[in-house]
Amino acid sequence: MAIPKWHEFMGPILRVMSDGHIRDRSEITDAAAIDVRLTEAERNVTLTTGQPMYANRVGWAISHLTKAGALSRPERGHYVIGEQGRTLLATYPAVTRSNVETVTGYRRSRVVTEPSRPVNNDVESLDPAELIDQGIRQIQEEVSTELLTRLMSKSPAFFEQTVVDLLVAMGYGGADGQARVTSMSNDGGIDGVIDQDTLGLSRVYVQAKRYSTDNAVSRPDVQGFVGALSGKADGGVFITTGRFSPGARQYAESVPTRIILIDGERLTSLMIRFGIGVQTKQTVHIVEIDEDYFE
């Protein structure tokens, strides 16, 4: 998968805008994606904020070209190609950052580094939002690993309660429903029960197994879980710190009862997202120009 970097979208943007039409940001983004022939899979790649990566990169390219004078804003949120943009496209069809600087004199601020450390070209090819996103992903990967280690070090009862806490934080059980960990014995393979309503007419059973990351929950385990909830619940959630075998996943997809499988990677991702076992250390405020203020 090779989504163009932000600066690699400058040429496609200018090609799209070369007809002189005024377009808003979303129109430019869609047209640029078509110009570079983005696949559906590439369009679905997102940052941690949920924004499509290609749309974020196009946005930074539009901003760069506007500051350089290659694009102008005839009205708020709309853009049109300028004379410098036409000159740039005619002289340098590929449109690199150095081409923009040559034609317009504008140069994007470089990443600040220590005197002893040269600028990393890979870092320079990312826009600021992606640099932040990259850091967040690295932190979350480290926290995810630590979460699995902590869960494995605690008792089975603690893990079962953590699973129930997570499902409640996700909204299961609701204000009028309830969630509970079952007794430690004779639970029929059921570790938790989520009642989606006060009377318990809509019920979800939970199975929680602590496996090492290199061990897989097998098909017989999932079959046993399905058998335990048969006729008693509307669906089930099987959660493990390990992974599921292909056979287990195929079986879960084939049975009429709705079964959701959550492996260790997805489990820790959900714990981070819904604040179970983690706390916010720092909040970063990202600002942008308020166009309304300068109207």
Model confidence pLDDT, tens digit, residues 272-291: 999 999 998 888 778 877 77
Domain membership of residue 58 (yes or no) is: yes
Do 176 and 268 belong to one domain? yes
Domain membership of residue 71 (yes or no) is: yes
Mean pLDDT of 22-30: 95
- Number of folded domains that form the chain: 2
Spatial distance between the Cα atoms of 68 and 63, rounded to a whole number of angstroms: 9
Among residues 156, 255, 168, the alpha carbon closest in space to that of 207 is found at 156
Do 92 and 154 belong to one domain? no
pLDDT score for 232: 77
Final residue of a structural domain among 96, 126, 156? 126
Question: In the predicted model, is pLDDT for residue 116 greater than 80?
Answer: no
pLDDT score for 214: 81
Please give the structure tokens belonging to residue 128. Answer: 């600021």
Do 267 and 170 belong to one domain? yes
Q: pLDDT digit string (tens) for 34-92?
A: 999 999 999 999 988 888 999 999 999 998 999 899 999 998 889 999 999 999 999 99
Q: If residue 73 lies in a helix (H) or strand (E), which one and from where to where?
A: strand 71-75
Percent of the chain with pLDDT over 70: 85
Q: pLDDT digit string (tens) for 178-193?
A: 666 665 444 456 878 8
Provide the domain limits for residue 266. 147-273
Indicate the pairing of strand 258-262 with strand 235-240: parallel
pLDDT range class, residue 123, cuts 50, 70, 90: low
Please give the structure tokens belonging to residue 27. Answer: 């129109």
Domain membership of residue 113 (yes or no) is: no
pLDDT range class, residue 294, cuts 50, 70, 90: confident
Do 159 and 242 belong to one domain? yes
Domain membership of residue 201 (yes or no) is: yes
Which ranges constitute the DSSP H helices of the chain?
A: 10-17, 25-35, 40-43, 53-68, 83-91, 97-104, 121-124, 128-153, 156-169, 219-229, 246-254, 264-273
The whole-model pTM stands at 0.67
Q: If residue 83 lies in a helix (H) or strand (E), which one and from where to where?
A: helix 83-91
- Mean confidence (pLDDT) of the chain: 85
Do 259 and 166 belong to one domain? yes
Final residue of a structural domain among 126, 156, 179? 126
Domain containing 55 — which CATH number? 1.10.10
Coil, helix or strand at residue 184: coil
Give one word for 28, left, alpha or beta, with left for phi > 0 and alpha for psi -120 to 50: alpha
Taking each helix axis as running N to C, give the angle between helix 83-91 and helix 97-104, from 0 to 180 degrees, rounded to the nearest 10.
130
Domain membership of residue 278 (yes or no) is: no
Structural contact between residues 239 and 267, judged by C-beta atoms closer than 8 angstroms: yes
Mean pLDDT of 116-132: 63
Do 184 and 76 belong to one domain? no
Structural contact between residues 257 and 230, judged by C-beta atoms closer than 8 angstroms: yes
Structural contact between residues 127 and 134, judged by C-beta atoms closer than 8 angstroms: no
Question: In the predicted model, is pLDDT for residue 119 greater than 60?
Answer: no
Domain containing 254 — which CATH number? 3.40.1350.10
Do 173 and 263 belong to one domain? yes
pLDDT range class, residue 113, cuts 50, 70, 90: very low
Q: pLDDT digit string (tens) for 194-253?
A: 876 666 567 788 899 999 888 899 999 999 998 888 777 778 899 999 999 999 999 999
Tell me what percent of the chain is helix, strand and coil, each rounded to the nearest 5.
45, 15, 40
Do 166 and 234 belong to one domain? yes
Do 247 and 191 belong to one domain? yes
